[in-house]
Structure formats: structure tokens, C-alpha cells
Amino acid sequence: MHRYLIMALAIFLLSAGSLPEKKAKPVIFLIGDSTVKNGTGKGDGGLWGWGAYLHTMFDTSKVSIRNYALGGRSSRTFITQGLWDKVLAQLKPGDYVLIQFGHNDSSPVNDDSRARGTLRGTGEETEEIDNILTKQHETVHTYGWYLRKYIYDAKARGAMPVICSLVPRNIWENGKVARASADYGLWARETAEAAGAGFIDLNEIIAVKYEALGQQEVSTKLFLTDHTHTNEAGAIINAAAVTEGIKQMKKCKLKRYLRTPL
């Protein structure tokens, strides 16, 4: 009898719209360039970005991962081409945004090929251009300015932004991986700290991992075609480096969703 009373009450509450709605899982949005998602994200040409394997390191029954990174984009063109707007439209309180740009930001500011470069540094300097590629007038900002926009936009929607310094290239100097600690890696850190975002020093974490493997092993086992894009093995190592960086952050709730949380 007791069981039937419970069932009747549940039916009544459901018909009255009083049952609590199931809370949606938080989403980790990934934005960046081809080192985060190469091509279609399905191993085109044997190349993979780390975003393709990040889901293997999270409990996806508790959190979702959506990879919106796109090859060839810089912190500037991800915005100017409307890609960031598509992510913003989906952001809700409690979500996360992992942001990694830098590889393409050193490209020309204005040309007839990609016109994707940003001004160096983190300041408020600007450059007015008539974009040769888009035929539009454009105000170009610094790398740090674009990162700040991502941070402030995400926060305005109640999401948590996390800046990642760019993954290192397979470039070695005297037995050590060349770092970006004097430019884009430094600027990423400075911007994240100043704007109150999380920060993962992916450039340094991965460089240390590569050095532990050695130049020969990295060059023959992780990179197939160039010094920037990794194969599957390299992408898995880099995705693990992201989770290592998450564990190092003192106040990041993302830790609770890792398969092996601290």
C-alpha cells in the first residue's frame, strides 16, 4: 500500500510540474588552434590535437567536453571570424573554457593569406588596418588584449576561464626544448594572473616531459610531418599535461571531475 501511495504522489508532482529538474552537467569548452584540434579532430593525416584525448582523463558522466578549436586561428581571428560568439552563446554558469593560442599570433598582422597576427605583448596598443584579406577596416590589438576579452566574456556568463600557454614545438637548443617563457608563454601567464583567470603553464609542463623522453624519441615517435603538430601518442602526452596543470591549480573545481582527482 505504501508503495502505491509513493507512486501516486510522484505522478501528481510530475503532472503539476513540481519534480525538480535534473541539473545539466557542466561543460568544458576548448578553444584554440590546430594543436588543440587538428583538422576535423579525427586524426587527419595521422595528426592529432590534445583536445581529442582530454575526455579520456575526465569522468564524462559528470562533465562534458566540447572542442571548438580550429586550425590556423589566432587569438584574434577566433574572435573576428565569429567562432568565439558560437561558444559564448552556449556558455552557462558553472561551465569552463580552456583557452590556448599563440602559435599563429606571430603571423603577419595584414596580408592576403591569413591576416591573423596580433601585436606583441599584453598592453593596450592598437594598429588600424584595412584588412587585405577581408577588405574590412580593423583595429588590431595585442595578444594579451584578446586573451583578456575571452576571460572577461566567459566570466560575464558565470563560466570559469583557464588560460593555457601554447604547447612547445619540437625545437631543441643544446639538448633542451625551446620555451616560450620570454614571450607568448610569459604573456599568457601575466594576462591570466592580472585578469583573475586560471593558468596552466602547458609550455613548461610539456617541455619537461619531452626532455625526459629525449630529443630522438620525441622527434621520431611524437612528430610525423613538422615541428608543431603531434601524432596520437604526442596528443595523449599533451592531454595528460593539461590534467597535470589542472591538478597544480590551487582553486580549480575542475579537479573534482578528473578520473583520478586529488
Contacts of 29 (CB under 8 A, 6+ apart): 66, 68, 87, 90, 91, 95, 96, 97, 98, 159
Predicted TM-score (pTM) of the model is 0.90
Low-confidence winner among 11-15, 101-105, 161-165, 235-239 (lowest mean pLDDT): 11-15
pLDDT at 6: 45
The widest CA-to-CA distance across the chain, in whole angstroms, is 80
β-pairing verdict for 27-32 and 96-100: parallel
Which pLDDT score, from 0 to 100, does residue 2 have? 53
The pLDDT tens digits for 144-182 are: 999 999 999 999 999 999 999 999 999 999 999 999 999
Mean pLDDT of 177-206: 98
Q: What is the separation of C-alpha 92 from the centre of its chain, rounded to a whole number of angstroms?
A: 17
Note the pLDDT of residue 252.
87
Q: What is the mean pLDDT of residues 14-23?
A: 51
Determine the 3-state secondary structure of 208 from DSSP.
Answer: helix
Q: Which residues contact 165 (CB under 8 A, 6 or more apart)?
A: 100, 102, 180, 184, 185, 188, 189, 199, 200, 201, 202, 203, 204
Q: How confident is the model at residue 22 (pLDDT cuts 50, 70, 90)?
A: low
Q: Which residue has the cell 593558468?
A: 199
Sign of the alpha-carbon dihedral angle for 194, 197, 201, 203: negative
Q: What is the pLDDT of residue 107?
A: 98
- Yes or no: say if 127 and 109 are a contact pair by the CB < 8 Å rule: yes
pLDDT at residue 21 is higher than 70: no
Average pLDDT estimate for 88-101:
98
Question: Could you give the CA distance from residue 99 to residue 96 in angstroms, rounded to a whole number?
Answer: 10
Q: Delineate the domains of the chain, giving CATH numbers in brackets.
A: 25-257 (3.40.50.1110)
CA angle 227, 146, 195 (to 5 degrees): 110
pLDDT of residue 93: 97
pLDDT at 224: 87
pLDDT recorded at residue 221: 97
- Is the model's pLDDT at 115 over the cut of 50? yes
Rounded distance between C-alpha atoms, residue 259 and residue 97, angstroms: 19
Q: Of 144, 150, 188, 147, nearest to 29 (Cα)?
A: 150
Of the candidates 89, 63, 226, the one whose C-alpha atom is nearest the C-alpha of residue 153 is 89
Report the chain's mean pLDDT, rounded to a whole number: 92
Give me the mean pLDDT over the 187-196 stretch.
98
| pLDDT score, position 3 | 53
